Amino acid sequence: MLGMPNSLLKLPRVLLSHKHRALFILTLMLVSFAYLTLYWRIAEDSYGSGLYNLPGEFNCAHSVPFSLPNAGEPSPSRGNVFFVETSERTNPGYLFSCSVESAARTHPRTSVVVLMKGLAKGNASLPKHWVFSLLSCFPNVEIRPLDLPELFSGTPLKKWYLWPLRRWEPYFLPVLSDACRIVLMWKFGGIYLDTDFIVLRNLQNLTNSLGIQSEDELNGAFLSFKPKHRFMALCMKDFVKNYNAWIWGHQGPHLLTRVFKKWCPIRTIQSMSCKGVRALDPEAVYPIPWQDWKKLFEAISASELHKLLKNTYAVHIWNQMNHRTRLEIPSQALLAQLYSQFCPATYAKMKQD
């Protein structure tokens, strides 16, 4: 009988060795996955929904001449103005400060609620940072932790959010922001604004509306809806049903555009009102198209500024495009003039720095 070749004798040992190695790698992956899941659960549990005490080092009387409504005046119940920060960031900059300040000034009898994921539950004091000190001068500004599990509870997005691998998707933070805004509008109603808006006038007459950012596309950087509105319910349903984490804007501008076209139904979006929901002309909240963002840093005369903003409620600054661009303070640049007129306390801090 012929002897079995040595190579064949070694084969079972090699296969067994590979099997043990594969089993070891699989075990390591499962342990790592369990650890990461536990980490994120603990991290999420560390955020709550309590109101923080705002630090008060800023000289409010000198730099924020802010007038409260007269005693006895009824407060309109049209909902809050919401800002959301979905990253862990707790050191906001000038544009963030200007966004909240300008909203607080133009909505003096409305709560301006800033929800920040990086704020820890149980700590009654905010981080010592000049933005929080400045915003403490406005009695209608509230800074709260962003409690995501609580926010998404009772909505179609709860299961979507709880998937453990969600945080490793390529556009997780912007998609999370897209999710937060539609759930906030559905649950509570009011006004949602991105933290790169400068608000020029009161927005509360723009109920059940959103803005056209460019030809045939809506944007959710500004939303204004009554609570439990069916349009927002359809947005939540589309968010889950047509979810795609790999396309930029698919859960944001593309989603709102898809839902609005079905809502009407139409093929092309233009400034219009359809079944009680308004698509606002670009000049209302997106007077500077994102393609022309450099105009924000170009000099403009007072008359040109007045003409440009004649029918504008707020200006989207497209921070994602221009955050590396230096703004000269003081100057006649359009953005510098917006800071000066609509968030003067933030502008004074910019000049000081």
Backbone angles phi, psi at 30, to 5 degrees: -65, -40
Which pLDDT band, with edges at 50, 70 and 90, does 30 fall under? low
H/E element holding 218?
A: strand 217-225
- Is 349 a domain residue? no
Residues 6+ away with beta carbon under 8 Å from 139: 66, 68
pLDDT value for 47 = 33
pLDDT at site 239? 98
The stretches of the chain forming alpha helices (DSSP H) are: 6-45, 60-63, 94-106, 130-135, 148-152, 157-162, 172-187, 230-241, 253-263, 282-285, 302-308, 319-322, 334-342, 344-352
Which CATH number covers residue 149?
A: 3.90.550.20
Is the pTM above the cut of 0.75?
Answer: yes
**Residue 317 located in a structural domain:** no
Inter-residue contact 342 to 303 (CB < 8 Å): no
Task: Please indicate, yes or no, if residue 42 is contained in any of the structural domains.
Answer: no
Residue length, the chain? 353
- Nearest Cα residue to 76 out of 158, 191, 166, 178: 191
Q: Which residue has the tokens 């004091």?
A: 125
Residue 101 lies in a domain: yes
Tell me: pLDDT of 163 over 90. Answer: yes
- Convert the pLDDT of each residue in 201-233 to its tens digit: 999 999 999 999 988 999 999 999 999 999 999
Q: What is the mean pLDDT of residues 124-134?
A: 91
Query: Does pLDDT of 105 surpass 60?
Result: yes
More confident position, 31 or 268: 268
Residues 239-285 have pLDDT tens digits of 999 999 999 999 999 999 999 999 999 999 999 999 999 999 999 99
Under DSSP, the state recorded for 5 is P
Closest CA to 152 of 187, 114, 118: 187
Which pLDDT does position 14 carry in this prediction? 41
Query: Domain residues for 135?
Result: 77-281
**Is the pLDDT at 188 greater than 80, yes or no?**
yes
**Residue 11, pLDDT above cutoff 60:** no
Cα–Cα distance, 186 to 220 (Å, whole number): 14
In a domain, 344, yes or no: no
Give me the number of domains the chain comprises: 1
Q: Are 225 and 232 in contact (CB under 8 A)?
A: yes
- The 10s digit of each residue's pLDDT in 33-89 is 444 343 334 333 333 335 676 665 667 755 565 554 443 444 445 799 999 999 999
Radius of gyration of the chain (CA): 25
Give the mean pLDDT of 131-150: 96
Mean confidence (pLDDT) of the chain: 85
- Cβ pair 196, 319 in contact under 8 A: yes
Is pLDDT of 326 > 50? Answer: yes
Assess if residue 40 is contained within a domain.
no
What is the CB neighbour count within 10 angstroms for residue 68?
11
For residues 190 and 276, give the distance between their C-alpha atoms in angstroms, rounded to a whole number: 16
